Amino acid sequence: MIKTRALASALITVAALLGAGAAPAAAQSSAAATSCYGGAKNLNYRYQVGPREYGPFTTSSRCGDINMRLTTEDGGFLYACVVFIDHTDKCNHDNTYSLHGTPWATVATDVRDGTRFVLRVGPYDTDAQNVDFKLAY
């Protein structure tokens, strides 16, 4: 009988935790990503020698990060970085670029709301002639 009560008590505790928000955290994370990406801007990159800048943009509470994804199939890859224009004229991450393709990827993380920035984009190679991409921030 004691084992049955202990088991019942454990099951009630687990049910209470699930009902109190343990399971919805994953749903909240998914909803936040949907909200962030749902407000993404559509942009276009045409090949040029050297990087091209887009913006300025201002972050909001919609996204905690600055995210990018290419939407042109077989459009190659793009290098990208973020320049926080009120503080510097250099790229984040010690003035380095990160490589981006079709999956969503972070260009800058944990960016404060109201931060002004430009996105600096360059080609990975000459396959990046005319590339559509999305920017979520």
Judge whether residue 31 has pLDDT over 70.
no
How many distinct structural domains can be found in the chain? Answer: 2
Average pLDDT over the chain, rounded to whole? 82
The single-letter DSSP state of residue 40 is: P
Domain containing residue 119: CATH number: 2.60.120
Give the whole-angstrom CA distance, residue 86 versus residue 58: 11
Look up tokens 């990503």; give the residue. Answer: 33
pTM metric for this prediction: 0.74
Nearest to 64 by CA among 41, 36, 101: 36
Judge whether residue 37 has pLDDT over 50.
yes
Mean pLDDT, to the nearest integer, of 33-42? 87
> Which pLDDT score is estimated for 29?
54
Percent of the chain with pLDDT over 90: 66
Domain match, 50 and 85 both = yes
> Which pLDDT score is estimated for 76?
85
Token representation of residue 105: 């990827």
Q: C-alpha dihedral over 103, 125, 44, 69, to 10 degrees?
A: 10
Domain match, 15 and 68 both = no
When pLDDT is cut at 50, 70 and 90, the band that residue 2 belongs to is very low
Token representation of residue 60: 């909001």
Judge whether residue 72 has pLDDT over 50.
yes
What range defines the domain where residue 82 resides? 41-136
Percent of the chain with pLDDT over 70: 74
Domain match, 31 and 61 both = no
